[in-house]
Amino acid sequence: MHIIIGGTGHVGSATTRALLRRGEPVTVVTRNAGHAADLRAAGAKVAVADVRDVGALRAILRTGTTALLLNPPAAPFTDTDAVERANAAAIVDAVTGSGLRKAVAVSTFGARPGDPCGDLTVLFGFEEKLRAQAVPVAVNRGAYYMSNWAEMLDSVRHRGKLTSFFPADAAIPMVAPGDLGEAAARRLLEGPDRTDTCYIEGPRRYTPGDVAAAFAHALGRPVEVDVIPRHAWEQTFRQLGFSPAAARTYACMTGTVLDEQDRWPDSPERGATTLEDFIHDVVSRAQADRLQDKHG
């Protein structure tokens, strides 16, 4: 049995479906069983637990042989670093003594030690603590999620503008969650001796200009990139409802993507999903949902 912590998120659900396609048994861990209804319908079992409940989470892990460990994102109105560090510590405690044959941790390209900088430092600490306990742990570091752009669909559709914290011509590593799910499924099925760190990104690097062009093609209308200047990042995050601590964290992560390109891997594992195909699918699904809502 494969246990998927964070199984209803983008990467967790993609991993679940990838395993189910291979005929593998899967248990999805979620705080709300209703959020996993489609995965249950696809054949997954569902276990309800909060990652902070170490005893309950460890009991679920003991029913499996492998686990995907995904640290759930904190709500942006909180001190996201503090919340996510506490979540990570609880997951590590649950894994310890679980008897798992192997686990795969979901991390990020720029994971590093140093002063607090959101996922970059939280997930690096997560990796280090997991490697210090007895269960063998492989690490998958993913590039910038293409799904982050999908959240802007309504704004793009109505305004014809794509808001970006990155310059329009900045080429950065991006990856589709589906490709991260496929990579995670493969690593869960590998032996416990395969515990290296793997970097995963899409077929090539993309710019916000490429994202705007993909939306324009899918929507059949012009789309411009509306770049937020660096000096306005924190203020913009605050206007979006982020706490002061979270605004600083997200500004730090954004700046690191632009400033530390020398940390990007030269030969990552390449997913098959192009940005154009991903955006086309996002727009198509949204249009289908609107039609369904309209006609009941």
pLDDT at 286: 83
Predicted confidence (pLDDT) at residue 296 exceeds the cutoff of 60 = no
- Return the half-sphere exposure (C-beta side, CA atoms, 13 A cut-off) of residue 219: 25
Q: If we measure between CA atoms, which residue out of 58, 29, 32 comes closest to residue 45?
A: 29
Predicted confidence band of residue 66 (pLDDT cuts 50, 70, 90): very high
**87: helix, strand or coil:** helix
Q: What is the rounded average pLDDT for all residues in the chain?
A: 93
9 CB neighbour count, 10 Å cutoff: 19
Predicted confidence (pLDDT) at residue 59 exceeds the cutoff of 80 = yes
Read off the pTM.
Answer: 0.92
97 versus 294: which is more confidently predicted? 97
Q: Which residue carries 């690096």 as its tokens?
A: 124
Q: Which two tokens stand for residue 85?
A: 């560090």
Q: Which residue carries 């959020």 as its tokens?
A: 35
Q: What is the mean pLDDT of residues 84-88?
A: 95
Q: What is the DSSP string of 225-291?
A: EEEPPGGGHHHHHHHTT--HHHHHHHHHHHHHHHH-GGGS-SSPEEPS--HHHHHHHHHHHHHHHHH
* Burial per residue of 14-37, b for 16 or more beta-carbon CB atoms within 10 angstroms, e otherwise: bbbbbbbeeebebbbbbeeeeebe
Predicted confidence (pLDDT) at residue 6 exceeds the cutoff of 80 = yes
Q: What is the DSSP string of 154-212?
A: HHHHHHSEEEESS-TT--B-EE-HHHHHHHHHHHHHS-TT---EEEEE-SS-B-HHHHH
Q: How many residues does the chain have?
A: 296
The pairing of strands 174-175 and 102-108 is: unpaired
pLDDT at 294: 61
Question: What is the tens place of the pLDDT at every residue in 247-290?
Answer: 999 999 999 989 888 888 888 999 999 999 999 999 998 877 76
Contact assessment for residue 29 and residue 98, using Cβ atoms and an 8 Å cutoff: no
Question: Which domains are present in the chain?
Answer: 2-143+175-202+262-273 (3.40.50.720)
pLDDT at 7: 84
Predicted confidence band of residue 98 (pLDDT cuts 50, 70, 90): very high
Q: What is the mean pLDDT of residues 164-186?
A: 96
Residues 6 or more apart whose Cβ sits within 8 Å of residue 32: 8, 48
pLDDT at 270: 96
Q: How far apart are CA 207 and CA 173, in angstroms?
A: 9
105 versus 36: which is more confidently predicted? 105
Share of residues in the chain with pLDDT > 90 (%): 85
Q: What is the mean pLDDT of residues 129-153?
A: 95
Question: What is the tens place of the pLDDT at every residue in 115-127?
Answer: 889 999 999 999 9
pLDDT at 227: 96
Predicted confidence band of residue 34 (pLDDT cuts 50, 70, 90): confident
